[in-house]
């Protein structure tokens, strides 16, 4: 067994009543893991498991000393402005002896999203 990577990623989604949507998110995590070579696990704000706190605790428990929390959210709102920062702050406090936990920008706020949409609009899918 090799040691786990020092950096782990929790890809955060809102969570859905549709299990197909939740399963699609889990598959997306696997795709991002394959591209990056990092441990990438899902964390759901509500309606699905694991919860974000559980996902963060698990990432630290498996040995990560740095956890990047990537919000798979399109639009700004209370979840991005309040809920996620609070959950990350609480986990940082729980694990401050062992790991740093960092919240990244959300995908919807990224300029590369504009480019992706432009490509779809121009039929360069």
User: Torsions phi, psi of 42, nearest 5?
Assistant: -80, 155
What mask of x and - would describe binding to a copy of itself in positions 36 to 75, judged by CB under 8 A? x-x-x---------------------------x-x-x-xx
Return the residues of window 72-101 that contact a copy of itself according to CB under 8 A: 72, 74-78
Contacts of 99 (CB under 8 A, 6+ apart): 59, 60, 64, 65, 66, 67
3-state secondary structure 1-48: CCCCCCEEEEEEECCCCCHHHHHHHHHHHHHHHHHHCCEEEEEECCCC
Name which position in 2, 3, 93, 125 contacts a copy of itself (CB under 8 A): 125
35 makes contact with a copy of itself (CB under 8 A):
yes
**Min. distance of Cβ 91 from a copy of itself in angstroms?**
17
Q: Which two tokens stand for residue 28?
A: 């997306």
Stretch that binds a copy of itself, among 25-33, 46-54, 55-63, 89-97 (CB under 8 A): 25-33
Among 43, 32, 47, 49, smallest CA distance to 87 is for 43
Residues that bind a copy of itself (CB under 8 A): 9, 11, 13, 16, 18, 20-21, 24-25, 28, 31-32, 35-36, 38, 40, 68, 70, 72, 74-78, 104-105, 107-108, 110, 112-123, 125
């Amino acid at each position: 067994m090799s040691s786990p990577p020092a950096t782990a990623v929790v890809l955060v989604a809102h969570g859905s009543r549709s299990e197909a949507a939740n399963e699609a998110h889990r598959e997306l995590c696997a795709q991002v893991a394959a591209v990056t070579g990092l441990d990438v696990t899902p964390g759901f704000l509500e309606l699905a498991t694991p919860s974000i706190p559980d996902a963060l605790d698990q990432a630290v428990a498996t040995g990560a000393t740095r956890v990047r929390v990537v919000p798979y959210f399109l639009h700004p709102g209370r979840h991005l402005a309040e809920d996620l920062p609070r959950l990350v702050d609480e986990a940082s406090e729980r694990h401050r002896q062992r790991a740093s936990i960092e919240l990244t920008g959300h995908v919807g706020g990224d300029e590369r999203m504009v480019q992706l949409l432009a490509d779809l609009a121009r039929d360069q899918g």
